């Protein structure tokens, strides 16, 4: 698939809701009820990070069992991560930054990648490779909505999903920027709610997030 088509897929996924939850899942058995709660709350695109041994099983379970969910994989650092997540059923991939090896692997893969960038030079390098939709990471420590707003004029062809340090209360300052399509954040799936199986609590957090903007 061409980079243009993969980027179109990324765009339509990012346009589904104002927030993409970034999930750290410790127990794959939590994946399906958690994803159902997020979808019920109006948040269909879900990024499951490859930070725990349960991540690939969680992605597989959501892909197979949760109607309406668009499951993606986060913390993709290598070609191997990309292949494993694609095989598990991920529909999109997210990386905190890029390496030449990861970009080459993404060119060879049909799994659309949302690559991370934190400087204008990184953004320009990714533009050269055909990427117009990028993750801005780590959004708040790297300069927050002020940095992102400053890129809108010289880099108008690039649209971002800022992630890293964003909360329900700070999301609107990002979402109001012309070069932001949605934000990412871990606040929708807190560890204690996952551990306690508080699915209605997660649905309530999703509903609040879906109403942003």
Q: Which is nearer to ligand ELE, 44 or 138 (CB)?
A: 138
Distance CA 59, CA 61 (A): 6
Q: Which residues contact 44 (CB under 8 A, 6 or more apart)?
A: 16, 17, 38, 68, 69, 70
Contact between residue 50 and residue 58 where contact means Cβ atoms under 8 Å apart: no
Q: Which is nearer to ligand ELE, 53 or 154 (CB)?
A: 53
When asked if residue 190 is in the footprint of ligand ELE (CB under 6 A), the reply is: no
When asked if residue 161 is in the footprint of ligand ELE (CB under 6 A), the reply is: no
Contact between residue 56 and residue 88 where contact means Cβ atoms under 8 Å apart: yes
Give the binding range for ligand ELE (CB under 6 A) out of 11-19, 78-86, 152-160, 164-172: 164-172
User: Is 128 known to be catalytic?
Assistant: no
Q: Which two tokens stand for residue 168?
A: 């329900």
When asked if residue 21 is in the footprint of ligand ELE (CB under 6 A), the reply is: no
- Residue found under tokens 């243009």: 4
Distances (CA, A) of 58 to 7, 29, 46, 70, 93: 25, 7, 11, 13, 15
Contact between residue 142 and residue 118 where contact means Cβ atoms under 8 Å apart: yes
User: Is 47 known to be catalytic?
Assistant: yes
For the segment 102-131, give every residue that binds ligand ELE (CB under 6 A): 116
Catalytic residue among 6, 60, 91, 135: 135
Instruction: Figure out which of the listed residues 42, 143, 165, 201 binds ligand ELE, where binding follows CB under 6 A.
Output: 165
When asked if residue 163 is in the footprint of ligand ELE (CB under 6 A), the reply is: yes
Give the binding range for ligand ELE (CB under 6 A) out of 121-129, 141-149, 162-170, 194-202: 162-170
Q: Is 132 exposed, middle or buried (CB count within 10 Å of its CB: 0-12, 13-18, 19+)?
A: middle
Instruction: Figure out which of the listed residues 54, 94, 158, 182 binds ligand ELE, where binding follows CB under 6 A.
Output: 94
Instruction: Figure out which of the listed residues 41, 72, 96, 162 binds ligand ELE, where binding follows CB under 6 A.
Output: 96
- CA nearest to 140, candidates 115, 113, 118: 118
Residues that bind ligand ELE (CB under 6 A): 22, 49, 74-75, 94, 96, 116, 137, 163-166, 184-186
Task: Give catalytic residues, as residue numbers.
Answer: 47, 135
């Amino acid at each position: 698939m061409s980079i243009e088509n993969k980027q179109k897929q990324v765009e339509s996924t990012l346009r589904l809701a104002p927030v993409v939850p970034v999930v750290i899942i410790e127990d794959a058995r939590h994946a399906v009820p958690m994803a159902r709660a997020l979808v019920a709350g109006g948040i269909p695109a879900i990024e499951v990070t490859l930070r725990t041994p349960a991540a690939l099983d969680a992605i597989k379970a959501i892909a197979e069992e949760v109607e309406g969910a668009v499951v993606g994989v986060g913390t993709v650092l290598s070609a191997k991560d990309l292949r494993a997540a694609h095989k598990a059923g991920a529909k999109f991939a997210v990386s905190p930054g890029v390496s030449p090896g990861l970009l080459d692997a993404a060119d060879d893969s049909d799994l659309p990648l949302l690559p991370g960038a934190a400087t204008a030079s990184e953004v320009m390098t990714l533009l050269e490779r055909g990427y117009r939709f990028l993750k801005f990471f780590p959004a708040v420590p790297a300069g927050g909505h002020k940095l992102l707003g400053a890129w809108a004029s010289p880099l108008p062809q690039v649209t971002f999903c800022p992630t890293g340090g964003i909360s329900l209360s700070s999301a609107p300052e990002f979402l109001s920027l012309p070069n932001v399509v949605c934000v990412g954040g871990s606040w929708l799936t807190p560890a204690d709610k996952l551990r306690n199986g508080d699915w209605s609590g997660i649905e309530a957090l999703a509903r609040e997030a879906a109403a942003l903007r």
